[in-house]
Amino acid sequence: MNSCSDRRVPRRATNTQQQYVAIYLPVAPYAPVQDMSLRKVFVFIPKTANWLAASCVQLQLEIFMTTSNEEGVDLGNVGGRFSMPMDQRNAYLKDELVMRVGIPHKGGHLAFHAFQESYSAMVSASAFWHQASQTFKIPEATNLSELDLALDSAGYTAMSMWKQKGTQKGMAGVFPWGYAQYTELAALLSVNWWAQPDMCCEPQLASNQDEIDYRIDATATLLEGTLRVVYAWQNELAKDGQVSEQTIKNMIKPPVPVVQGWSASDYMRSIELLMAVWERWQPWLAAPTLIGVGSVCRRSLKHPTNGLHAILAALEGNIPSGSRLHMFGVKGACLSDLKMLDWIASADSMAYDMGARMKALKSGHSNSMVHRSSEMTQWMKAAGDRIRPAAGDQFRLGLFA
């Protein structure tokens, strides 16, 4: 191995009396890396430390996680003369439950319609991916830039493509794009918040418990990889002392961690792993303001182990104080229940677009943009009615009784 004098390596690593293992992670070309041919960040970790291990074969690395910074990755210049931001939040949230409408394109008629209606929106990274050039393509002008926008990592799409086509060139061998590309996309779009890359666990993609466990471990590993890139890029901006902390925070935001699983116990293990990763990066990061809940699309409500109610009951007492949840792709029928829970911040859905296709097919009419926009309006109105406070509403009306 080449020698490494990276500031992220703790001084203890030079102690030859202690045994260490070295792990590495692909990062951006301009991150603080000594071996530029490999573009790796090398981190030395004492073998005697009390680690939670999450290994991913496709990632070809091991990320060792702990709940303490005491023996872990040195936070380098945090709080030093380079003015690295501290206690960073990963999202700024409204008090009320927010419904985000899914936009399947990187601009165009549906984005313009969402802008006209002042909808909050969610867009997938896959909308910007250009397969031929293996890069993200962002339009010079798009109505998405005028929206309260969140970015999804396209984990479901990536996993589906991986199952069809095999190993990809990007993150974990599942995503076609890399850590640096995805982080850059989030920064250039100036989104309100962006989700970490995650691996979904719906039964059609994860057919047994071993596959679910792998995806939970991989999601925690992907969070660690993403935070390393965000930290490295922020540190580069801070090095010359000319960029303010607020500007750095605005340019490159920390991601939203996403819990994964299928049963309530899966989600319990996922939140434990994710928080073990996240806490290693404090006080550079504050506790996550927002945490995503994945693999809940089209999920039943009342199944005793994998229903939405059971999952939320398991998570409620295990998320950090002050953190709130985003529900990815949750059923519209659930919203009247979710509005009773003040620790649910938001949800998103593209159900309107599926409904538009089905209605057009059934009626024999064209599934035009005008038709799809009309369906968006109707779906969002119905969602708004469900989450709007009504007479007799109060928080926590025995949802889990």
Domains of the chain: 98-387 (3.20.20.105)
Binned average pLDDT, 10 residues per bin, the chain of 401 residues? 32 32 35 33 34 31 33 45 84 95 95 96 96 94 92 89 87 93 95 96 90 94 96 90 88 97 96 96 96 89 90 93 95 86 94 94 95 97 89 54 42
Quick one: pLDDT at residue 2? 35
Q: Of 260, 53, 61, give the one whose Cα is nearest residue 172.
A: 61
Name the pTM for this structure: 0.80
pLDDT of the residue at 271:
97
- What phi, psi does 348 have (nearest 5°)? -140, 160
Report phi then psi at 43, rounded to 5.
Answer: -130, 130
Give the pLDDT score at 392: 63
Residues contacting 82, CB < 8 A, separation 6+: 235, 238, 239, 241
Instruction: Specify whether the CB–CB gap between 181 and 225 falls below 8 A.
Output: no
Cα three-residue angle 243-248-252, rounded to 5 degrees: 145
Cα separation of 103 and 122, whole Å?
6
Please check whether residue 144 is in contact with residue 189, taking contact to mean a CB–CB distance below 8 angstroms: yes
Note whether 303 and 310 are within 8 A (CB).
yes
